[in-house]
Structure 1
Amino acid sequence: MDIRKLTAEDFESSIALSQYAFQYVLSEERKERQRYRFASQDIWGVYEEGELGAKLHIIPFQTYIHGRAFEMGGIAGVATWPEYRRKGWVAGLLKHALEEMNRNKQSISFLHPFSFAFYRKYGWETYIEYKKYKVPVAHLPAKKATPGNIRRGDPGLDILKEVYSSYAERYNGTLVRDDSWWENSVLTDGTSQKAVYLDEAGQAQGYLLYEVKERKFAIDEIIYLNEEARQAIWTFIANHDSMIEEVTLQAPASDTLAFQLDNPRIQQEIVPYFMARIVSVEQFISQYPFASQDSPVQINLQVEDAYAPWNEGVWQLNVAMNGTASIWKTSETVLEEQTLKVNIQALTAMLMGYRRPAEMAQMGRIHGPAEVITALEHTIPERETYLLDFF
């Protein structure tokens, strides 16, 4: 299999494959924007007789996990011309991508799957779902007075960044957004309206990116740092009641909007979204902030990972009282009754915070002694997963 890294000269062939596979046509303006972003991504392709047959992109990101920024490789743009399918080329590209991300110290990877089952075969696992709402205007939260005020219009990127960062750090799996991502992926077409809530002291405590069109209030992002900001933003939305018939938005899976409504019978949908995969068990766990303990904890993990052989084997995990972890692969004979058996998908789901060890054991996704599972349960902090972005 001839796998090569694409260069600027391959831009047109790469875009042609993307447009065909994902069934869209770029305007010249958007094409030039893609050309700019092309240079910042690692794009790998499979070639046959000098022609590009399949490709994938590795986008360098950082993601928040328990308040820390982890290097993350975002897999995107996976595509194959139909005449080259069923040759195992995508499998080869994914294996190559794992090797590249491991070499680049990107210890975790995210992707948006066309098929969850397909990417599970290669070690990715669901790590987030979100709640999608459709709220008729008659069901909107009651309007409430707040001491601050809503400022509509462009508040400036610095204010949006500050509020977003404070919010995003509260979740696992949100992106650390740099200016380029804000300008080219969040605030792209200029059609979204902006509103920010300033508290009584003039500090931004929330913002709204939205569009009002055809009597619908479509929310792209709704972010609030406290209850006061939540009430103020929803009052601002409700003040459009003469202009709109419904509001649409997405929120974290645990969101309690319906509970707080006088009439909670609104349309809600839980949507499975992105998948994650630990690229390097050693790199990821070494920087992972475990929960503080009353005494040090030692856990043996027998990890199964067919596509990243550097993760295979028995690892000794040591968690200090302050939550700092050290991990190494052990060559010693480890007793089975002292070892937790786990594949890379289950390990990812647990450490991302999407699923707890106790429930994974109940589902038969991990196997080991009850006391080892309990120890792991106590060492992994609880934090919800969420992602506002798409790539």
Structure 2
Amino acid sequence: MDIRKLTTDDFEACMTLSEYAFQFVLNEEQLEKRREEFASHNVLGVYENGQVGAKLQIIPFQTYIQGRSFAMGGIAGVATWPEYRRKGWVAGLLKFALEEMNRNKQSISFLHPFSFAFYRKYGWETYVEFKNYKLSTDQLPAKKATPGTLRRSNPELSVLKEIYDTYAERYNGTLSRNDSWWENSVYAKKGSQRAVYYDEAGLPQGYVLYEVKERKFTIGEMVHLNEEARQGLWTFIANHDSMIDEVTLKAPANDTLAFQLDNPRIQQEVTPYFMARIVSVEQFISQYPFASQDSPVQIQLEVEDAHAPWNEGVWELNVAMNGTASIWKKGELTKEDQHAQHIRLNIQSLTAVLMGYRRPAEMARIDRIQGSEEDIQALEKAIPVRQTYLMDFF
């Protein structure tokens, strides 16, 4: 298998494959934007008879985890020509991609799967889901007077960024967006209309990106930093009641909209969304801010990772009282380790736990991790509780 890093000379071949595999056609302007993005991505391909037969790209992102920014490799555009499928090429590309991300210190990776089962085989695991809401106008939150002001306009990007960054840091797995991502992904895909809620002091506290068309109010993104801003934004939306019949939006999985309605029997659906994978146990945990402890914690982790051998083995994790962690690899499991207390888990389970998507005690109950009750509880207390969320797509 001839795997190579692709260059801009391979752009046309890659786009032809993407258009075929994902069944879309781009115009000249869109192709030019893709060409610019291509140059900044790490694109890998399998060559067969001098042609690109399969490819994927690693997009460099930053993601918030426990309020801290982590370097993340976003896997996207995985595609193979039909005549070359089932040759193990994607497996080879994913393994090569893991090596690339490890070298580039991208300690975590996200992707949007065509099949959750397929990517679980290579170490990725579900890390986030969201709620889909659909409300008729008579189900909307009651209009309520708020002390602030709602301005429907074209606000400066810096205003939306300030609100978004404050909001995104409250979750695990949100993107830290740069200006280019705002312009080419957020603005381009989430609705041309924008409204910002300002409090009495004139400080921006929330915004909504939306589209009103064919009597539908489609919310591309709704962000609020406090309850006042939430109420102000919903009152603005409800004031469209003569123009619309329904409102649709996505929200975090723990969103409480239904509970706050007079009639909570609204249409809502929980949808599994993206997957995550720890690329480097050592790099990731060394950055990870654990919860403060009454006393230092020491836990041994026996990690299984067939596709990233640098993660496989027994690790000693030490968490200081201030939540700072140190970790080092003890090597393969020895006879002494087999009799010592430690937690056994694969890279998928470790990812789900440290991303905050699942708790250690819950994972132990369903036999996704094994260990003593004492060690499981120590890990449970060490990992801060924080909801996962992702508002973007790639």
TM-score by length of 1: 0.99
Corresponding residue number in structure 2 for 1:334: 337
Indicate conservation of the 8 Å contact 1:64/1:171, yes or no: yes
Corresponding residue number in structure 2 for 1:373: 376
CA deviation after TM superposition for structure 1 residue 273, in Å = 0.1
1:32-52 Cα distance to aligned partner (Å, 9 max, x none): 111111111000000011010
Q: Distance in 1 between matches of 2:238 and 2:215?
A: 13
Q: Distance in 2 between matches of 1:321 and 1:388?
A: 33
- Whether 1:151 aligns to 2:151 is yes
Indicate conservation of the 8 Å contact 1:111/1:274, yes or no: yes
CA deviation after TM superposition for structure 1 residue 263, in Å = 1.3
Corresponding residue number in structure 2 for 1:83: 83
Q: Distance in 2 between matches of 1:377 and 1:145?
A: 42
CA deviation after TM superposition for structure 1 residue 27, in Å = 1.4
Change (3 A) 1:282 1:346: same
CA deviation after TM superposition for structure 1 residue 267, in Å = 0.6
CA deviation after TM superposition for structure 1 residue 339, in Å = 0.9
Indicate conservation of the 8 Å contact 1:53/1:81, yes or no: yes
Change (3 A) 1:336 1:180: farther
Equivalent pairs counted in the alignment come to 391
Q: Aligned letter for 1:338? A: Q
Q: Distance in 2 between matches of 1:352 and 1:191?
A: 30
Indicate conservation of the 8 Å contact 1:337/1:368, yes or no: no
Corresponding residue number in structure 2 for 1:356: 359
Q: Distance in 2 between matches of 1:57 and 1:201?
A: 45
Q: Aligned letter for 2:358? A: R
The equivalences for 1:102-117 within 5 A come to 102-117=102-117
Corresponding residue number in structure 1 for 2:59: 59
Indicate conservation of the 8 Å contact 1:171/1:384, yes or no: yes
Corresponding residue number in structure 1 for 2:68: 68
Helix, strand or coil for the counterpart of 1:347?
Answer: helix
Q: Aligned letter for 1:31? A: L
Q: Aligned letter for 2:92? A: G
The equivalences for 1:226-305 within 5 A come to 226-305=226-305
Corresponding residue number in structure 2 for 1:141: 141
CA deviation after TM superposition for structure 1 residue 297, in Å = 0.3
Q: Distance in 2 between matches of 1:80 and 1:336?
A: 46
Q: Aligned letter for 1:24? A: F
Corresponding residue number in structure 2 for 1:188: 188
Regions of 4+ moved over 6 Å: none
CA deviation after TM superposition for structure 1 residue 5, in Å = 1.0
Indicate conservation of the 8 Å contact 1:73/1:110, yes or no: yes
Indicate conservation of the 8 Å contact 1:127/1:354, yes or no: yes
Corresponding residue number in structure 2 for 1:217: 217
Q: Aligned letter for 2:99? A: E
Q: Aligned letter for 1:386? A: Y
CA deviation after TM superposition for structure 1 residue 335, in Å = 4.2
Helix, strand or coil for the counterpart of 1:289?
Answer: coil
Q: Aligned letter for 2:388? A: T
Corresponding residue number in structure 2 for 1:345: 348
CA deviation after TM superposition for structure 1 residue 182, in Å = 0.6
Q: Aligned letter for 1:242? A: S
Helix, strand or coil for the counterpart of 1:122?
Answer: coil
Change (3 A) 1:191 1:209: closer
Q: Distance in 1 between matches of 2:191 and 2:268?
A: 26
Helix, strand or coil for the counterpart of 2:175?
Answer: coil
Change (3 A) 1:189 1:386: closer
Q: Distance in 1 between matches of 2:164 and 2:39?
A: 27
Q: Distance in 1 between matches of 2:183 and 2:205?
A: 21
Indicate conservation of the 8 Å contact 2:163/2:206, yes or no: yes
Q: Aligned letter for 1:368? A: G
Indicate conservation of the 8 Å contact 2:190/2:219, yes or no: no
**Structure 1 vs Structure 2: percent identity of aligned residues?**
74
Indicate conservation of the 8 Å contact 1:42/1:57, yes or no: yes
Please report the RMSD computed on the Cα atoms of aligned residues, expressed in angstroms.
Answer: 0.9
Helix, strand or coil for the counterpart of 1:311?
Answer: coil
1:261-311 Cα distance to aligned partner (Å, 9 max, x none): 111111100000000000000000001000000000000000000000000
Indicate conservation of the 8 Å contact 1:337/1:369, yes or no: no
Instruction: Tell which deviates more after alignment, 24-33 or 324-333.
Output: 324-333
Corresponding residue number in structure 2 for 1:16: 16
- Whether 1:123 aligns to 2:126 is no
Q: Aligned letter for 2:372? A: P
Q: Aligned letter for 1:158? A: S
1:293-336 Cα distance to aligned partner (Å, 9 max, x none): 00000000000000000000000000000000000011463244
Q: Distance in 2 between matches of 1:168 and 1:34?
A: 26
Q: Distance in 1 between matches of 2:218 and 2:189?
A: 15
Q: Distance in 2 between matches of 1:110 and 1:9?
A: 27
Q: Distance in 2 between matches of 1:132 and 1:79?
A: 28
Indicate conservation of the 8 Å contact 2:190/2:209, yes or no: no
1:214-235 Cα distance to aligned partner (Å, 9 max, x none): 0000000000000000000000
CA deviation after TM superposition for structure 1 residue 191, in Å = 4.9
The equivalences for 1:172-183 within 5 A come to 172-183=172-183
1:107-155 Cα distance to aligned partner (Å, 9 max, x none): 0000000000000000000000000000011100000001111000111
Runs (5+) with no aligned partner, structure 1: none
